[in-house]
Chains A and B, each alone.
Chain A
């Protein structure tokens, strides 16, 4: 396995969150009845002409600036010519030689914690095609052109990725970024964010790239990882058994967990790209680009760095908390409730809350515990009303009952015992009831310390203040 090196480049298609299509006034809403959102321009009627949607341009520029990429002051739409029923004009309007965004980069964090820079070759604007429908139409094909003309930003990486994991990390990073920028809803099930993966392998240490296969239309992180891993194994096996990888387009079948050939390079279209004479080149003035730059929100990496410096969080926690803009905003709202406890708040948000959201499959916006309420819980941990352990229980009750931390603590009597004499009383009882263990402990079985802690906690319903308990117990045992 180590004899081979994997080389991956991704082409991510992000559907831009404009209200109307890139070259027509039709709505881009998902899920409308077939062809309800296709006007004469989308249908490619004789005589109609495309008119560029300025909102799509602005979004592309936003993305480019966020990547630190070069924004082309002059970019050109071209026609990509091929026949297909879901492509009404017989060509797709895209950008070819002169894309709007070029030469950017993104940093991803590898499993070992190191940071790797991934080059972004280009990002260009283009229109999506419609889709063919076969189900329920025996002997016929239906065509739904609602999606035809939907604006896409195609983001092309350099072949800098060396494993499926890196590819996923990169794709997640782009996913986070487009959502931060509010230029794409990131909904992968609806196809708003998907990618094609160019995968090849080469002997470790060689310069020359191997022959690549392009896996089309991967619309989940899991599929990206599985498809690439399958493809890498397939290629290595081919090469090791004396075969050759052919340049081709492949499809990933999630049910079978394998990729299979769609068409080979020989069958590939000659797209006959040429500049679209119906559209003028896109000319971007410096002050326009500057105005877009001014409108950029704080980006994920900037925010994470600020969380580290301002709140003293670890890089890992900062990364988790800034994974989405909403998530980071939630965290900061909690911190506003308990400004002295940013770390405790981070533990709660990245720990209990994340687990609960994940378990119930909810987005942060649909959290059953609001930021203010969670702040209330953190406050009670900080002022020692409850222990961290009890806090988990309080959290669950808040989650299921929608009550505040104080209500849960009062109604369930979960207030922590901090009264020294009360804790001592329980310790004495526990020691009196366990003379054998006490003898063993004193004979050198240190591990039994935990046993006594457990017994006291059990007797107090977990409410004894852990630090006090430890201190008092140690005294009693040694006394």
Chain B
């Protein structure tokens, strides 16, 4: 059964239930792939082989007894931002290098309850701050399509792991594009739900009003299955929304006839690579063939989303990361001489450069005398962007455009200039500011590198977004292509 990794998660779950293979076999197969490719890709920070095999054996017993859940025996990986009880949870930072979480994040607990097996914890930009995975304390993740290139970030480990089929699915989080951008750059499917759809409890906070957990998979159908198990109201998260979770799997396969697709004028700007645009236009043509109606729409405030984001996100981050002070958990400097020394050195040593940059930016924009000019103004513009989206969704059902302006770039190419790095998220940030569900699906290649197509829907329209992505994948096979060396 050396070809198990080629099956998508949905097929794996079905195969396990039909007992065509065991969870132990399946888990072994993925662990073997992780072991073989970890050196080249660096997609994982921790691999929990022993626990995974134990859990797989238990899953096999449940499957034999017919008591399994939707994901019983299916292995997957968790982004190392999700707290996992008894397992190190680093968030890609030296600050949490020694942190073993005493509890499970709600997402982790729900997927476990659904029967999923954890293979390990995936690499990520430090505290999810980055678009290339180069800010990780554990070193950059390599793009499986070309190891000289970045996988995107911050969920670069999750995207690379799924692209190389080291796991059939991996959880991820998206604050400004951290699911969709690496999914696009690695040629996999990434789904960021509506803000509030998935509990943030146990997800180490970066920017609380923007952070949203989601999943990276090989296909939209697989994403629907995992999301259905992850999503839902959590009394431990006041910002999670008490709305019933539709059967995302059951909702797939609706015809797109009459679907009103909006083309965001602002997404087809001069920053968009011509060949990437070409792939997007080709994808749109397929949507037309599927019966969708294309119209151009404009969101006049959207071009302000990057500056707004880089005020709001650092502001929240500067406060969220204050708890890492060397007192109760995480990195503590050697022999502090007094309290100030403890704070300064523990934080100075524990955080990397990008995290420090954002803490400083955030502290600045919240400071007396600057709050109104930065934070408050950014919040006002954010409200306008949200309004823009709401108005647009009066005339269209979904918005479709590119996920990123270019395919994957070289490691080190943008590390010297944070602004160019930040601009990589220009098409993804809007959905975070407005809290909208959005997916990225592979839609072709440019120079041998995958290109991502982004689908954005109104609040709580996950089923529609996934259905729109799924219909495209029913007509194309981009999502089934595997990078050379990982087939």
Contacts and interface: CB of A to CB of B under 8 A. Distances in A.
Interface of A: 40, 43-52, 79, 81, 83, 85, 88-91, 141, 143, 270, 272-274, 277-280
A46 B105 CA distance: 10
Given A83-B325, A88-B328, A143-B327, A49 B237 contact: yes
A47 B238 contact: no
Given A46-B89, A46-B91, A280 B323 contact: no
Given A49-B236, A270-B367, A274-B366, A91 B201 contact: no
Interface stretch (B37-45, B95-103, B128-136, B300-308): B95-103
Contacts of B200: 47, 49
Contacts of B343: 83
Given A47-B205, A143-B327, A279 B319 contact: no
Interface in B222-246: 235-239
Interface string B323-348: 11101111000000001000100000
B204 A274 contact: no
Contacts of B411: none
B80 to A, nearest CB: 11
Given A49-B236, A49-B237, A280-B239, A274 B329 contact: no
A407 B236 CA distance: 62
B83 to A, nearest CB: 5
B102 A85 contact: no
Contact of A40 (B103, B316, B367): B103
B363 A277 contact: no
Contacts of B237: 49, 51
8 contacts: A43-B328, A45-B101, A88-B327, A89-B323, A91-B319, A274-B315, A274-B319, A280-B239
A79 B315 CA distance: 11
A49 B101 contact: no
B267 interface: no
Contacts of B366: 81, 272-274
B83 A91 contact: no
Contacts of A50: 238
Contact of B201 (A47, A90, A270, A272): A47
Contact of A91 (B82, B236, B322, B375): B322
Contact of B238 (A43, A45, A51, A79): A51
A47 B325 contact: no
Contacts of A52: 238
B310 interface: no
Interface in B100-146: 101-103, 105
A90 B322 contact: yes
B204 A47 contact: yes
A49 B328 CA distance: 17
Contacts of B339: 85, 141
Contact of A48 (B82, B202, B207, B319): B202
A335 to B, nearest CB: 49
Contacts of A90: 319, 321-323, 325
Given A47-B204, A79-B319, A91-B322, A280 B238 contact: yes
A346 to B, nearest CB: 51
Contacts of A143: 327
B322 A46 contact: no
A46 B329 contact: yes
> Is chain A's interface secondary structure helix, strand, loop, or mixed overall?
loop
A81 B103 CA distance: 26
- Nearest 6 CB-CB pairs, A to B? A90-B322, A277-B209, A272-B366, A277-B208, A47-B202, A44-B323
Nearest to B321: A90
A47 B327 contact: no
Contacts of A49: 200-201, 236-239
A192 B301 CA distance: 50
B465 interface: no
A43 B328 CA distance: 8
A301 to B, nearest CB: 37
Contact of B83 (A47, A88, A141, A277): A47
Contacts of B238: 49-52, 278-280
A83 B342 CA distance: 11
B268 interface: no
Contacts of B371: 272, 274
Interface centre among A45, A52, A91 (most CB of B within 10 A): A45
Interface in B184-233: 200-205, 207-209
B419 interface: no
B239 A278 contact: yes
Given A47-B83, A49-B200, 11 more contacts: A46-B96, A46-B323, A46-B324, A47-B201, A49-B236, A85-B325, A90-B319, A90-B321, A90-B325, A272-B366, A274-B319
Contacts of B239: 49, 277-280
B90 to A, nearest CB: 10
A46 B101 contact: yes
B368 interface: yes
Contacts of A279: 238-239
Contacts of B96: 46
Nearest to B202: A47
A277 B316 contact: yes
Contact of B319 (A45, A47, A272, A280): A272
A47 B99 CA distance: 12
B96 to A, nearest CB: 7
Nearest to A85: B327
A138 to B, nearest CB: 15
B201 A46 contact: no
A279 to B, nearest CB: 5
B322 A81 contact: yes
A435 to B, nearest CB: 88
Contacts of A44: 323, 328
Contacts of B323: 44-46, 88-90
A50 B339 CA distance: 27
A289 B96 CA distance: 45
A47 B203 contact: yes
Contacts of B208: 277-278
A51 B371 CA distance: 26
Nearest to A77: B238
A46 B375 CA distance: 24
